[in-house]
Structure 1
């Protein structure tokens, strides 16, 4: 994966975190929406970890 994709993933992770915090600050937070956002954030976090692992393998080779 490219550095450009990595930067996209980090921005997406931050965007999802901001949406989660925004939802939590609402007078009546939508728990289902928070759960959906957290799942999406976890997927992005896993993609970031995979990108880093792939990069580390290519550097070591």
Structure 2
């Protein structure tokens, strides 16, 4: 897998997590633990995306 395709996959997963978070927030009985887990995973992906983007620029 090339760096570009890996970045694209990470960005798609990041967007997917964003959608999952929005869906959970719209539920009448929100699962705060699930929302927190999804947000942490989304942040981890964002950090990995930033790290890879910085590596490709160097």
Give the corresponding residue for 1:43. 44
5+ residue gaps in structure 2?
Answer: none
5+ residue gaps in structure 1?
Answer: none
Q: TM-score, normalized by length of structure 2?
A: 0.94
Greater Cα radius of gyration, structure 1 or 2: 1
- Matched length: 57
Q: TM-score, normalized by length of structure 1?
A: 0.90
With a CA cutoff of 8 Å and minimum separation of 6, indicate the structure with the bigger relative contact order. Answer: 2
Give the corresponding residue for 2:33. 32
List structure 1 runs of 4+ shifted beyond 6 angstroms.
none
Following superposition, the deviation at residue 2 of structure 1 comes to: 1.2
Task: Output the aligned Cα RMSD.
Answer: 0.9
